[in-house]
Amino acid sequence: MKLPFQMPAPRRGSLLVEVSLAMGLTALVALVLMRASLLAISGNQWTVMQTLTDAYLTRETALANRLPFADVTGEASAWPAANLDSEDVVVDEQTVTLGRLAGGTAVQGVIRRFRTQEAAPVSEVSQAVWRLHSILAYNIGDEQYTKSRSVLRVQ
């Protein structure tokens, strides 16, 4: 005798289909979340690199402003005089460490310094006017980027 509230027997293999669909959906959600986290991290890396380079160039600007004028125009100056009319421009070039990324990876860059004499304004008093240039070149991945700052010094 068959009772009216008795459940029919489940079909064989339906549990396997349900588990497979659940695993597929879980894998898809995991891939979407991984992609989103990688995009978030890559934006942070760009921000960190910009912060490191801007901080280093701020240090360069402060150094150019605080050096005594005699040191700026001296023979052993960190900013050698450049004659822009000639093909051989004298540049002080150094490899510098800009900072460290998470994990202790050092970020390297190349700083180039030179100075140019600017035209003094017409006045009765003779003034020496120099523009100190600092150019920073650095790499992010396979791309090379350049930032520069210049400071005007008047004596």
Whether 121 is covered by a domain: the verdict is yes
pLDDT of residue 1: 57
Q: How many folded domains does the chain comprise? A: 1
Whether 3 is covered by a domain: the verdict is no
Whether 8 is covered by a domain: the verdict is no
pLDDT of residue 73: 86
Whether 52 is covered by a domain: the verdict is yes
Whether 7 is covered by a domain: the verdict is no
pLDDT digits (tens, 9 = 90+) for 111-127: 999 998 887 656 666 78
Query: And the tokens for 106?
Result: 């050092």
SS3 82: coil
Whether 144 is covered by a domain: the verdict is yes
Whether 2 is covered by a domain: the verdict is no
- Nearest CA-CA partner of 108 in 97, 118, 119: 97
pLDDT of residue 52: 92
pTM greater than 0.75: no
| Cα–Cα distance measured from residue 155 to residue 153, given in angstroms and rounded to the nearest whole number | 7
The residue range of the domain holding 24 is 14-154
Is the pLDDT at 133 greater than 90? The verdict is yes
pLDDT of residue 127: 80
Whether 69 is covered by a domain: the verdict is yes
> What share of the chain in percent tops pLDDT 70?
83
pLDDT of residue 31: 95
Mean pLDDT of 141-151: 91
